[in-house]
Each structure stands twice: as structure tokens, then as C-alpha cells.
Amino acid sequence: MLRVGVHVSISGGIYRSFDRAKDLGCNCFQIFSHSPRSWKFNIPDKKDSKRFVKKSNGNDVEPLVIHGSYLVNLATPKDGLREKSIKSTQKEIDFSNKVGIDYVNIHPGAHTGSGETQGINNVISSINQIQGLDETELLVENTSGSGTTVGYNFKQIKEILDRVDRDIGVTLDTCHAYTAGYDLGSKSGLEKTIEEIEETIGIDKIKLIHLNDSKNPLNSNKDHHEHIGLGKIGVKGMERIINHPKLKDIPFILETPIDDQRGDEENIETVKKLRNKG
């Protein structure tokens, strides 16, 4: 079954995310639990939380995903920032456990000059301090490799998975992978990427796919998402990803632009059409 959704707003109450997702044709979706550019964490009140749980129980919409704050940097050498990042992620996990969110997705962060080895060590030690991962699962997202970010290849992701003492998963972002050097736009490149995933982290560890085309070319290390099929990965590349036997049953969450060309609904329809062609 095709599971496809987008990032939806929680404005006016977190429970309203279900209605917005339904209107767009989603059967899974992603939210921010609070402003992603602020450390201020306004936990939804009991009434809103109960409504959210009720909506969740009454709809065939899964998985439900929280995307962590953009400010979180678990790889940083700065103790104060890393402590704030751990606390922020812990709050996301605590809230997710409370209302039945399936996954909390995080970017591993940037080492900002301390080196990749130290950055990855910081990510691992940070995740090992987070509690409550038995119900809600933490997902580490691959990055484009821009700046000093870590987690841009599957070898680094594997090291994180192997050394974290809890069971965590992976979000595969197609735009990030492409601009990090994985040629998802070609048939042979996709097969080679899947082979590398199987040899390192394992396909079973990919619990979510952020399905995004790329405005920028292969190996550019730039993180600019494009509408499905209108970027450098292209229509055929997206079609192969959406229909690949080893990927097609993994939920797809789109983080594509909203502009004069398309909105979320049009991109979802594009995914559904490409699935039907496969």
C-alpha cells in the first residue's frame, strides 16, 4: 500500500493536522510540535492532546512523524548547545510517547570545525542520553554534506546506529542523498545506492523516506528541494524510487516547495500517478 503525505501545520490546535492532511490526500504526515526556529516549547494542552489521540484512533493515517527543531545540533562541540539540543529532543520524545506519535525525525547536526569523528561521537553520546525510545522511535536523517554536517553517507549513519545503545531508525532523504553523491536519478545509480544501504545499515532500518527532488545537481552538497519530477533527479528517477520493490512499502513524506508551480496536493497527486505507472 502506498503511504504518502506531507508536512502539515498544527496552527489552531495539533489535532487539526489530521483534517489538513486528509484534505490534501495524505494517509501519513509530518508536523513540527512547535516553532522549528525557536527553543520555546509550547506543549499542547490536555484538551488538544486528547483530540489528537481521538483523531489518530479514528483514522487510517500512519505513520505520524514529528520533525525536530532546526536549532538542534547533536554534533556540536559546544556543550551548552548540545545540552539544549538533547533537552529539546527529549521533549519531542516525551510528547510523542504521550499522544502516540510513531517517529521523531532529527538531523544529526554539524561538527563546526571539531572534525567528523568528534561530531559523530557527539551525536552518539547525545542520543544515548535520551530516554523513552521504546514506544516512539528516533530516526536519524541523512544529510546533503553541506558545510560541516555529518551523516551524509551510509557508513557514518551505520556507525551511529551501531554505537547507539537503543534501537533507532533512519529517514532517507532523496534530495540529500542525491546532492551528497548518490545518483538516484539513474537506474544503475539507484541500484548501487540500495546495494550500499543493504551492505551498511540495512533496508529494514529505513523507516521513512523524505521524497524530494533536487534543485541542485549530483554531488553539489546543497539542500534545496524541488517539486517531484521537476528537479535533477527527474520524473524517471522519482518513478523508479516510488516503485522500487525494496522502497515502495516505506512511507513517503514530501517536503517539496509550495509556489506558483505546485502545492502539496499537486505533488501528492504526482506521486500517486507515478506509482500507478510503475
Q: How confident is the model at residue 278 (pLDDT cuts 50, 70, 90)?
A: low
**pLDDT for the residue 43:** 77
List the domains of the chain with CATH numbers: 4-277 (3.20.20.150)
- pLDDT at residue 125 greater than cutoff 70: yes
- pLDDT at residue 195 greater than cutoff 80: yes
- pLDDT at residue 256 greater than cutoff 80: yes
- pLDDT at residue 42 greater than cutoff 90: no
The 10s digit of each residue's pLDDT in 21-32 is 999 999 999 999
**pLDDT for the residue 58:** 87
Pick from 167, 261, 177: which is nearest to 211 by CA? 177
Taking the CA atoms of residue 56, residue 253, residue 171 and residue 275 in that order, the dihedral angle to the nearest 10 degrees is 120
**pLDDT for the residue 44:** 82
Q: What's the rounded mean pLDDT across residues 193-197?
A: 98
Pick from 239, 225, 250, 78: which is nearest to 144 by CA? 225
Containing H/E element for 256?
A: none
Q: What's the rounded mean pLDDT across residues 67-89?
A: 97
Whole-number average pLDDT of the chain: 96
Of all residues in the chain, the percent with pLDDT exceeding 70 is 100
* 69 in Cβ contact with 34 (< 8 Å): yes
* 21 in Cβ contact with 253 (< 8 Å): no
Task: Report the sign of the C-alpha dihedral through residues 51, 56, 60, 66, in that order.
Answer: positive
* 183 in Cβ contact with 218 (< 8 Å): yes
Q: How confident is the model at residue 37 (pLDDT cuts 50, 70, 90)?
A: confident
- pLDDT at residue 102 greater than cutoff 80: yes
Q: What's the rounded mean pLDDT across residues 38-56?
A: 90
* 27 in Cβ contact with 250 (< 8 Å): no
- pLDDT at residue 91 greater than cutoff 70: yes
**pLDDT for the residue 277:** 72
- pLDDT at residue 94 greater than cutoff 90: yes
**pLDDT for the residue 223:** 97
Neighbour count for residue 246 (Cβ, 10 Å):
13
The 10s digit of each residue's pLDDT in 130-184 is 999 999 999 999 999 999 999 999 999 999 999 999 999 999 999 999 999 999 9
Q: What's the rounded mean pLDDT across residues 102-121?
A: 98
Q: How confident is the model at residue 82 (pLDDT cuts 50, 70, 90)?
A: very high
